[in-house]
Structure 1
């Protein structure tokens, strides 16, 4: 969908007007729109990516920009666990929420790299907001 619109310097996990930055990564545009629609009114700046490779490029370019990444598991080019592993290498403090309609938490049970949380699709919007607040506040 969109990529970071500006090339401002990292602002301690906050974007415009001190709003926490959330990166949403999913190859389903409707899910990205849902995440933005749920989180933006609650004070989060949501930047969406329909391609995990572009999301990884954004994290590499500004590793301290975002407070949280919400990523799907099953995507083209790269799965969510691969994305988490590569993001952790450049932004170890980035909180990551894995979402999926195809796998459960067992997918990362034995992995050396872990997400900070998991939500199964479809999830109620209040559950998404609660999980984001648990991970990064606001």
Structure 2
């Protein structure tokens, strides 16, 4: 059992191949409680239907029906303490600052490697456990 096995993660990514790759990375890290959503609206519906909440939301920025920033705002209203990792191809400083000002816990630029994802999860999990 991995050190992150207890995490319950909501993964929102509209590209099914990227979503599958991220899920495989999470499995390799020992994380098996993963709820998937193909768009922001689906992710929001999962948030609404999951009263126990999630330990981490991993979300793409550019998605149909509700983008990552819109989902972040909804998530912060429903579960303000839930960490939110934004994944995106956007690397310009303005986008990064917009995400940070909106309350993301971490920002990861695509494409990324498993060790980069693990590093972000570790930082978020460590800071979250300190607050708990």
Of 63, 72, 81, the residue aligned with 2:60 is 72
SS in 2 for 1:97: strand
For 1:133 and 1:105, locate their aligned partners in 2 and report how far apart those are by CA, in whole Å.
24
Structure 1 position 28 matched with structure 2 position 5? no
Q: Which runs of 4+ in 1 moved over 6 A?
A: none
What TM-score, normalized by structure 1, do the two folds share? 0.78
For 1:130 and 1:97, locate their aligned partners in 2 and report how far apart those are by CA, in whole Å.
12
Cross-structure match for 2:114: 125
Structure whose residues are more often helix by fraction = 2
1:25/1:105 CA distance change after superposition, 3 Å: farther
Gaps of 5+ in 1: 1-17
What TM-score, normalized by structure 2, do the two folds share? 0.81
For 2:92 and 2:73, locate their aligned partners in 1 and report how far apart those are by CA, in whole Å.
18
For 1:86 and 1:72, locate their aligned partners in 2 and report how far apart those are by CA, in whole Å.
15
> What is the CA deviation profile of residues 12-52 of structure 1, one whole-angstrom value per residue up to 9, with x for unaligned ones?
xxxxxx72111110100111111111112322222211121
Q: Choose between structure 1 and 2 for higher RCO, CA contacts under 8 A separated by at least 6 residues.
A: 1
Gaps of 5+ in 2: none
Of 43, 50, 53, the residue aligned with 1:62 is 50
Cross-structure match for 1:81: 69
1:56 and 1:87 in contact (8 A); partners too: yes
Cross-structure match for 1:38: 25
> What is the CA deviation profile of residues 71-105 of structure 1, one whole-angstrom value per residue up to 9, with x for unaligned ones?
01111111111110011100111100001113545
